[in-house]
């Protein structure tokens, strides 16, 4: 029997350097959300890639950053945990992201142009432990589809809102009902921390939340391959980024 390999490969690095973009490029699928603003990723995102006889288990992580809010502490704890538990991690975490211990060996990659990805994957596979596959052959991630939908809604909001506000936003999917021949019906809360933020997210005459809804619906339809009816509600929840329990409920753990 052919020798199979499988292992966890961490994507580690400072905020906003392109870790999630690289994950998506390597998977050939938009799994992790991306934005031009730092602190986009808020949890460990597993992306499963079969390659020949190997199974690469990528772990996208939040960028390590300073800050003492419960959210920052919890994000850094995720980075520590993944660093400790993975089979391969960057030899040196600097400005660039290198998801493998490639001592002295540097591989130029571009997530945007899709350059260098094959060489990187070959290099990773060669370093994975001998192991049977750890997940099903069709699995893409361990996250439920409603979490991925919540993330796509947050991505749309991050893209359409100015500088500071995105960090105050969280999304919770309330209902997810597959409709058979009818559109999948999704209702979600878009949480902010203050009333003033709610006004900005709703926008004049509800224009901003309408734009967020349209963009998010298109991304979700592309993900699940079905028509979607999306309803968004903007709510003030001053506690979400201060409470560990609340963050767990939101899937940021």
Ligand X SMILES: Nc1nc2c(ncn2[C@@H]2O[C@H](COP(=O)(O)OP(=O)(O)OP(=O)(O)O)[C@@H](O)[C@H]2O)c(=O)[nH]1
Q: Site residues (CB under 6 A) for ligand X? A: 15-21, 34-36, 38-41, 62-63, 110-112
209: left (phi over 0), alpha (psi -120 to 50) or beta: alpha
Residue 20 C-beta: closest distance to ligand X, Å: 3
Among 20, 39, 74, 172, binds Mg ion (CB under 5 A): 20
Nearer CB in complex with Mg ion: 41/123: 41
DSSP 176: E
Nearer CB in complex with ligand X: 176/252: 252
Q: Strands 5-11, 170-177: parallel, antiparallel or unpaired by DSSP?
A: unpaired
What's the maximum distance between 2 C-alpha atoms anywhere in the chain?
64
User: Interface with Mg ion includes 39 (CB under 5 A)?
Assistant: no
Residue 5 C-beta: closest distance to ligand X, Å: 26
Q: CA-to-CA distance for 75 and 64, rounded, in angstroms? A: 7
Residue 80 C-beta: closest distance to Mg ion, Å: 17
Say how far residue 24 (Cα) sits from the centre of its chain: 9
Cβ(171)–Cβ(153) below 8 Å: yes
Among 35, 39, 41, 74, binds Mg ion (CB under 5 A): 41
Q: CA-to-CA distance for 253 and 249, rounded, in angstroms? A: 9
Cβ-in-10-Å burial (0-12, 13-18, 19+) of 65 comes to middle
User: Interface with Mg ion includes 21 (CB under 5 A)?
Assistant: no
Tokens at 58, concatenated: 């990528």
Residue 45 C-beta: closest distance to Mg ion, Å: 8
Cβ-in-10-Å burial (0-12, 13-18, 19+) of 80 comes to exposed
Cβ(10)–Cβ(59) below 8 Å: yes
Nearer CB in complex with ligand X: 111/220: 111
Nearer CB in complex with Mg ion: 39/172: 39
| Binder of residue 16, out of ligand X, Mg ion, none (CB less than 5 to 8 A by kind) | ligand X
Residue 231 C-beta: closest distance to ligand X, Å: 27
Among 24, 35, 39, 40, binds Mg ion (CB under 5 A): 40
User: Interface with Mg ion includes 219 (CB under 5 A)?
Assistant: no
| Binder of residue 59, out of ligand X, Mg ion, none (CB less than 5 to 8 A by kind) | none
Binding site residues, Mg ion, CB under 5 A: 19-20, 40-41
């Amino acid at each position: 029997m052919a020798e199979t390999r499988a292992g966890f490969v961490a994507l580690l690095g400072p905020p906003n350097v392109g870790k999630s973009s690289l994950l998506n490029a390597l998977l050939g699928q938009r799994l992790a959300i991306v934005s031009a603003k730092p602190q986009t990723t808020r949890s460990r995102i597993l992306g499963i890639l079969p390659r020949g006889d190997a199974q690469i288990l990528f772990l996208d992580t939040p960028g390590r950053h300073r800050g003492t809010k419960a959210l920052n502490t919890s994000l850094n704890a995720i980075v520590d945990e993944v660093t400790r538990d993975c089979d391969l991690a960057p030899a040196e975490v600097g400005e660039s992201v290198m998801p493998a211990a490639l001592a002295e060996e540097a591989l130029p990659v571009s997530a945007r142009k899709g350059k260098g990805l094959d060489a990187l994957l070959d290099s990773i596979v060669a370093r994975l432990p001998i192991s049977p596959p750890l997940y099903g052959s069709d699995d893409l991630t361990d996250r439920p589809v409603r979490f991925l939908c919540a993330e796509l809604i947050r991505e749309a909001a991050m893209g359409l809102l100015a500088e500071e506000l995105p960090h105050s936003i969280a999304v919770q999917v309330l209902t997810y009902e597959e409709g058979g021949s009818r559109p999948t019906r999704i209702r979600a809360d878009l949480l902010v921390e203050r009333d003033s933020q709610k006004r900005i997210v709703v926008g004049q005459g509800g224009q901003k939340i309408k734009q967020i809804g349209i963009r998010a619906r298109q991304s979700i339809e592309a993900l699940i391959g079905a028509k979607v009816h999306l309803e968004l509600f903007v709510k003030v929840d001053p506690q979400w980024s201060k409470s560990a329990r609340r963050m767990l409920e939101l899937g940021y753990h």
